[in-house]
A and B are shown apart, each in its own frame.
Chain A
Amino acid sequence: MRNSFVARNPSVLIFLAILALFTLAITVLSEGVGLGLVSTSFVKTLGKTLCLALIAVAMDLVWGYAGILSLGHFAFFGLGGYMIGMWLMYERTRQIVVDSLANAPIPPTPQEISDAIGSQIFGVVGGSDFPVIWSFAHSLTIQLILVVAVPGLLALVFGWLAFRSRVTGVYLSILTQAMTLALSLYLFQNDSGLRGNNGLSGLQNLPHLDDVPQSIVSIWFFWASALALALGYLLAAWVVSGKFGSVIRGIRDNEARVRFLGYSVEAYKLALFTLTAMIAGIAGALYYPQAGIINPAEIAPIASIYLAAWVAIGGRGRLYGAVIGAGFVSLVSSWFTGGQAPDVHLGFYTIRWVDWWTILLGLSFVAVTLFAPKGIGGLVDLWTDRRAPDRHGADLGPDMGSLREREAER
């Protein structure tokens, strides 16, 4: 079975090989463990990009394969980041507090330590007590479980309500946007328990590892991100390779027909929505320690829309397309917005890419949708000669049969 899975999906092997080579190359060139040709900050950028590629794979599963245009998956990504961020921030603050109180004449009580940590963390929002949601922040194991459990549970409840009422298409997209917006607005409040608009910060500093320089930590996270992407990609490829993949693609193309075959469409959507939310949570948990900070702005509705744009530009319905889209767009984006792109002087007006990049991205999205629906990934078809009749599920009607037949054969 293993052999045949790889044999039937040669692209998986090619993808993993390219990813491994890329990881090796960056490691060799890195500042931390290699030749020093690639700076630590760029290693972090690449590591973050791998995490974005992972959430793009999740998005492709849910949108490209099952046709559910979720515009809320960055909420799950952000929640994963918050869950790991809570432990990082708690543990590191505790370490600092314990160290500073160690020299006090009277040994501090546990209550004093807890209060000190609380006022360190929540001072910015005018508090010092630990909110209930921080109950497990002391335990790495529990917070790691929450990285998948919290996004998974939210997706399960939201999906159950939405799919059960047979909300589909644009209405579902709007509903997912509403969910994202509500979550982000909630987190912006100071009494949300997650430090309001300050978010969680200092996440790049790993507790108890002060001696390890960031150049090394960045490589660790880079490796972890590459591994997560590899495993996530394998899982996604496996999920879509068998009958489950057939059913979800069937749901995308004609969900009523799938029902008449006896498949409970709602259960499939719910399972996939929840699974991809958990993958998004893991991606977020690896992303934010590399970014160093997470705040509610990260969960803003626009982030999830960008995600859809990446997948569309990369080519949906094929997993490597999602990876290409996320990698390409986010790297180009950081080039434009990082001020590296030269301004264009038109005499009467100067195009500053920091301002104009979003418009360029929007135009590319429109252009891809209209002129190249297969996205960048479609270029691969040029040499694999994979030609699909993409007729949007329209049937070859009886009257125009011969004409449509030719169209389908094209």
Chain B
Amino acid sequence: MSALLEVSGVSVSFDGFKAINNLSFEIGAAEMRAIIGPNGAGKTTFMDIVTGKTKPDTGRVLWGEFGRSLLAMSEAQIAREGIGRKFQKPTVFEDQSVQENLLMALKKDRGPFAVLFWRPSSADLDRVAALAREIGLADHLGRKSGKLSHGQKQWLEIGMLLAQEPRLLLVDEPAVGMTPAEREHTTAILVEAAKTRAVVVVEHDMEFIRRLDCRVTVLHEGSVLAEGSLERVTANQQVIDVYLGR
């Protein structure tokens, strides 16, 4: 199986501080991967690099069957290539309704003129309603998303991510602010998504990671410290020292 995303030898420094140090990472087309690591390990910065927000100083980021480089693309182009992202802090458009947020995320032509003339068909509205049901916001479609609770915004953002139908989902700390039951629901959604696409989840909660039941990559000081099943990784002495030992 060839990789969907291949990051190799990537480094980036902020004012001399190496946030990412010779990092390499690969993920297949229908695979779930968890990334763990202490605060400041570079997990969010890694997602910034893949999504085009941060340009690395060195290294390659290749995408898709033809191994196209993502480095020359803008954030919007990368998103249109099929890479969707959920941010660590939930960022939804607070002044707009849940429905408007989801409609904006729906996979459609993104050009200004197409968008200007686009009006949702009943199929589109059904799709949005189905997504809203899936994320437990079916009764809140007309509500301004600024009025949602923190957890509900997390959900909305996950819904927006699904609406984009990306080939790769990058999910940064989805469980923050969720109840145990909500966490379980999130796991179920992510596991389901990973059947047809690649999913990368950053999370601190070990219980959450365990339920994902997938390969784990441990980041430390900007590079990969260990990779493998959760059992193997948590048994690794280095990992225990830098992360679990705290």
A contact set with B: CB distance below 8 Å: 1, 239, 242-244, 246-247, 249-250, 253-254, 256-257, 259-265, 267-268, 271, 388-391, 393, 395-398, 401, 405, 408-409
Q: Which of B51, B87, B147 contacts A409 (CB 8 A)?
A: B147
Report B81-112 residues with CB < 8 Å from chain A CB: 84-85, 87, 89-91, 93-96, 100, 103-105, 110-112
Do A396 and B110 touch across chains, with their CB atoms under 8 A apart? no
- Partner pick for A267 among B84, B104, B112, CB 8 A cutoff: B112
B62-82 near A? 1/0 per residue, CB < 8 Å: 000000000000111101100
Stretch of B115-123, B205-213, B232-240 that contacts chain A: B115-123
Closest B residue to A394 by beta carbon equals B94
A389 CA to B93 CA, complexed, in Å: 11
Of all A-B residue pairs in the complex, the 9 with the closest CB atoms, nearest first, are A262-B79, A389-B146, A259-B75, A262-B80, A398-B177, A401-B150, A271-B112, A264-B76, A244-B116
Question: B189 at interface (Cβ–Cβ under 8 A)?
Answer: no
Q: Which of B76, B85, B91, B177 contacts A254 (CB 8 A)?
A: B91
* CB of A152, distance to nearest CB on chain B (Å): 15
Cross-chain contact B94 with A242 (CB below 8 angstroms): no
In the complex, whether B183 has a CB less than 8 A from a CB of chain A is no
B164 within 8 A of A: yes
Q: Can you list 24 A-B contacts (CB < 8 A)?
A: A1-B119, A242-B116, A243-B103, A246-B96, A249-B95, A250-B93, A260-B53, A261-B79, A261-B104, A261-B164, A262-B80, A263-B110, A263-B115, A264-B76, A265-B76, A389-B95, A389-B144, A393-B95, A395-B89, A395-B150, A396-B149, A397-B89, A401-B177, A408-B147
In the complex, chain A residues whose CB is within 8 Å of the CB of B87: 257
How near does chain A come to B204, taking the closest CB pair, in angstroms? 12
A259 to B118, CA, bound (A): 19
With A260-B79, A264-B74 as known contacts, state yes or no: A250 contacts B116, CB within 8 Å. no
Measured CA separation A291–B218 after assembly (Å): 71
Additional 4 contacts, C-beta under 8 A, given A249-B95, A256-B53: A254-B91, A259-B76, A271-B112, A388-B144
Q: Which residue of A lies closest to B111 (CB)?
A: A267
A174 to B105 CA separation, bound complex (whole angstroms): 33
Q: Which residues of B contact A397 (CB under 8 A)?
A: 89, 150
In the bound complex, how far is the Cα of B148 from the Cα of A396, in angstroms?
Answer: 9
**Complex formed: what's the CA distance from A83 to B138 in Å?**
54
Expressed in whole angstroms, the Cα–Cα distance for A408 and B150 within the complex equals: 11
Expressed in whole angstroms, the Cα–Cα distance for A137 and B144 within the complex equals 52
Known contacts: A242-B116, A254-B91. The answer to whether A396 contacts B150 by CB under 8 A is yes
Complex alpha-carbon distance, A262 and B149, angstroms: 26
Q: Which of B76, B90, B160 contacts A395 (CB 8 A)?
A: B90
Contact between B119 and A242, CB atoms less than 8 A apart: yes
Q: B153 within 8 Å of A by Cβ?
A: yes
- A398–B111 CB distance below 8 A: no
Query: For residue A405, which residue of chain B has the nearest CB?
Result: B149
Q: Does B176 contact A (CB under 8 A)?
A: yes
Residues in A whose Cβ lies below 8 Å from that of B91:
254, 257, 395
Residue contact A389 to B147, C-beta cutoff 8 Å: yes
Q: Contact check, A249 vs B118: say whether CB atoms are below 8 A apart.
A: no
What's the Cα separation between A249 and B93 when bound, in Å?
8
Among B53, B89, B93, B119, contact of A246 (Cβ-Cβ < 8 Å):
B93
Chain B nearest Cβ from A247, distance in angstroms? 6
Enumerate B173-216 residues with CB–CB distance to A below 8 Å: 176-177
From known contacts A262-B110, A263-B76, A263-B110, infer whether A242 and B104 are also in contact, taking CB-CB under 8 Å. no
Given contacts A262-B80, A263-B110, A401-B177, contact A257 B93 (CB under 8 A): yes
Q: Give the CA-CA distance A27 to B121 in the complex, in Å.
A: 44
Q: Are B93 and A395 in contact (CB under 8 A)?
A: no
Give the residues in chain B near A401, CB-CB below 8 Å. 149-150, 177
Measured between beta carbons, the chain B residues less than 8 angstroms from A249 are: 93, 95-96
Do residues A408 and B112 form an inter-chain contact, with CB atoms below 8 A? no
Contacts of A253 in B (CB 8 A): 93-95
Assembly CA distance A81 to B168 (angstroms): 52
Closest partner residue, chain B, to A400 (CB atom): B150
Determine the distance from Cα of A264 to Cα of B73 in the docked complex, in whole angstroms: 12
CB distance B116 to A260 under 8 Å?
Answer: no
Residues of A within 8 Å of B115, CB to CB, are 242-244, 247, 263
Closest-CB distance, A57 to chain B (whole angstroms): 17
Nearest CB in chain A: distance from B24 CB, A? 24
Cβ A259 vs Cβ B74 within 8 A: yes
Q: Judge whether A262 and B100 touch: CB under 8 Å.
A: no
Q: Assuming the A-B contacts A259-B74, A396-B149, are A391 and B104 also in contact, with contact meaning beta carbons closer than 8 angstroms in the complex?
A: no
Known contacts A243-B104, A267-B112, A409-B147: A259-B95 contact under CB 8 Å: no
Cβ-defined contact, A268 with B147, below 8 A: no
Q: How many Å from the CB of A237 to the closest CB on chain B?
A: 13
B-chain residues with CB within 8 Å of residue A391 when the two chains form the complex: 94, 146
The 8 A CB mask of B138-155 against A (1 = contact, 0 = none) is 000000101111100100
Q: Give chain B nearest CB distance to A209 CB in angstroms.
A: 39
Q: A243-B115, A389-B146, A398-B176 are in contact. Are A260 and B95 (CB under 8 A)?
A: no
Given the known A-B contacts A246-B100, A264-B110, are A408 and B93 also in contact in the complex, defined by CB atoms under 8 Å? no
- Once the chains bind, are B80 and A260 in contact (CB under 8 Å)? no
Report B106 CB to chain A, min CB distance, Å: 9
Q: How far is the CB of B215 from chain A (nearest CB, A)?
A: 25
User: Which residue of B85, B112, B153 contacts A260 across the interface (Cβ within 8 Å)?
Assistant: B85
Min CB–CB distance A5 → chain B (angstroms): 9
Expressed in whole angstroms, the Cα–Cα distance for A409 and B148 within the complex equals 9
